[in-house]
Chains A and B, each alone.
Chain A
């Protein structure tokens, strides 16, 4: 770190190196020390980069490069049958998808499914975390149980939920029937199908988010609660005025992560479709952008157009990111 040239032996700096007592004043030993200290400095300067470089190399090869290349591919006609042949078409892929009603439909579905899945999920997670933060018997047991859905894969969970949401013989309609509600067509009804797809997401992620909130709650200093209690605040008011404000950064974070997750939704709507298509139901009623991307790229075999969809989704995420940073700056300014 100290000198620019590794080759120039820094005689005095040697002291920072292996702190052995100088053994004799012979030229040999001095040379050896110089060499050691050169090696030492090289080590100190370059090792950190060596340690972080595998991550960045992998990221560049399998993250950044493909991401940028997606933008490039989106300006070409590329067919699935010959993925390496690219013909320049300019913005044509974009005009095609923006003219496609199914694109806007998918965008709308992604938004509504995103809201239906994220909002109740995070609210329940918050409540659950609050309860888990009490002194409980067998508290570890509950925490592990809440994670069982997280251990279940998207594929398995979606297939099970298809059956649970069966119109004629499904468990859920049967239970609803017990309280006098008629069979709901969870596959074909617009809102019901979106609710069903969302429920898979909610089921898998609520416990996980509860743990994240719980972790943040446990970091809140106890004296905040004590002074609130002295002021005569009820538990509910303590939750509102102590817990929630302290959790603001965590809440914002889970909202962002869930939003990104929701924007990418793919496996759940794909496997929920009883017709085994990629259209997200016969009326595209629960087709998300992720699924639309897959349908364009791998069913209709237009990889170029699929790239345009991916790049559009990426731009949407950037917008979300910017909005987020504005909000968080506001929050910081206000607190």
Chain B
């Protein structure tokens, strides 16, 4: 059944080459042309569209239900922001949720990066029987949404009594075909064969090559992949929602969603929770935005 699915992605593979084009900035398509004023107007609109809902989240969080049920909706901040943030923090058990999510996202990001780097290295630089077929399978698995597997996973969790335990969320999240593909693409062009040969001549085992040659060479891509995986796991919703309960041991997303599903919704409290749940990642993007953008463009595949 995987074989039918291995076909499609074989074709999309072309996106990655961009890297080659980026090397010489002069050769950029269209890069020569300066943008006209219209381009800036459109960009301003998109910038507004991207940020306005987030800013408005903060505005709504700084108000209360009464104000949110009036007709011109609030367009500027009220006085309640910090009260509401504090309330959301305690009501939604966000302290524990943050700790849990950091553990889940951290452990799975680090593990995925490590496993993807060694596998990506093998696919990019080592010769072995069945390499191409296995790589096709890896790409094929990217096309199978993990959601379709949740029922047996849920049975497993029930059987092992793992409800509300973090490993129930961490373990399934470790499967990342995207990571393998991403590291392979990077190492193909970033790691010259000569360096590996040289290490081999010095008598280095494959493992030593990985440790002393591959990891140093792959560091930038590893950092980007780590961030992408951290974001993905941090934002993961369906599976944590099924196996972690809001009052038991929630991740941030479960806790935030729980706020929204209360019986007497305090809208600004919900917004405060949504804001708190989003802020850490927005911060990461504000700091490492350039690297993340570069990583997405390089991988050019949805994770």
Contacts and interface: CB of A to CB of B under 8 A. Distances in A.
A257 B8 CA distance: 11
Contacts of A132: 43
A135 to B, nearest CB: 5
B17 A147 contact: no
Contact of A66 (B152, B256, B302): B152
Interface in B242-286: 242, 252-254, 256-257, 259-261, 267, 270-271, 273-275, 277-278, 281-282, 284-286
A206 B33 CA distance: 24
Interface of B: 1-2, 4-5, 7-9, 11-15, 17-18, 20-22, 26-35, 39, 42-43, 46-47, 49-51, 53-54, 56-57, 60, 68-73, 115-116, 118-119, 121-123, 126-128, 131, 134, 137-138, 141, 143-156, 158-159, 171-172, 174-177, 180, 201-203, 205-207, 210, 231, 234-235, 237-238, 241-242, 252-254, 256-257, 259-261, 267, 270-271, 273-275, 277-278, 281-282, 284-286, 289-290, 292-293, 296-298, 300-302
Given A135-B33, A145-B47, A218-B29, A313 B148 contact: yes
A292 interface: no
Contacts of B56: 160, 164, 171
Nearest to B172: A62
Contacts of A313: 148
A318 B1 CA distance: 8
Given A55-B116, A148-B51, A325 B206 contact: no
Interface in A182-239: 203, 206-208, 211-212, 214-222, 224-225, 235
B31 A218 contact: yes
A34 interface: no
Given A44-B206, A63-B141, A321-B143, A310 B261 contact: no
Contacts of A220: 21, 29
B210 A51 contact: yes
Interface in A1-24: 1, 17-20
Given A62-B153, A155-B256, 11 more contacts: A62-B174, A67-B148, A70-B152, A153-B234, A225-B30, A249-B12, A256-B8, A290-B238, A310-B150, A322-B4, A328-B8
Contacts of A303: 151, 154-155
Interface of A: 1, 17-20, 39-40, 43-45, 47-49, 51-52, 54-56, 58-59, 61-67, 69-70, 73, 78, 83-84, 127-128, 130-136, 140, 142-164, 168-171, 174, 203, 206-208, 211-212, 214-222, 224-225, 235, 242-243, 249-250, 252-254, 256-257, 260-261, 263-264, 266-267, 271, 276, 290, 294, 297-298, 303, 306-307, 310-311, 313-314, 317-318, 321-322, 324-325, 328, 332
Contacts of A221: 21, 27, 29
Contacts of B176: 55
B88 to A, nearest CB: 12
A311 B147 CA distance: 11
Contacts of A54: 115, 118-119
Given A163-B271, A215-B297, A271 B260 contact: yes
Contact of B256 (A19, A153, A324): A153
5 contacts: A64-B2, A136-B43, A153-B256, A163-B267, A212-B297
Contacts of B180: 52, 55
A317 B4 CA distance: 10
A220 B17 CA distance: 10
Interface of B is mostly: helix
A219 B20 CA distance: 7
Contacts of B47: 142, 145-146
A222 B32 contact: yes
B237 to A, nearest CB: 4
A264 B147 contact: yes
B69 A62 contact: no
Nearest to A53: B119
B257 A58 contact: no
A263 B131 CA distance: 31
A317 B145 contact: yes
A325 B7 CA distance: 6
A156 B152 contact: no
B154 to A, nearest CB: 6
A298 B242 contact: yes
Contact of A263 (B145, B201, B274): B145
A159 B149 contact: no
A252 B261 contact: no
A131 B45 CA distance: 12
B105 to A, nearest CB: 11
Contact of B290 (A51, A144, A161, A318): A144
Contact of A222 (B22, B27, B121, B259): B27
B257 A155 contact: yes
A48 B131 contact: yes
Contacts of A59: 141, 175, 177
Nearest to B290: A140
Contacts of A263: 145
B29 A222 contact: yes
A321 B39 contact: no
Contacts of A235: 33
Contacts of A150: 231
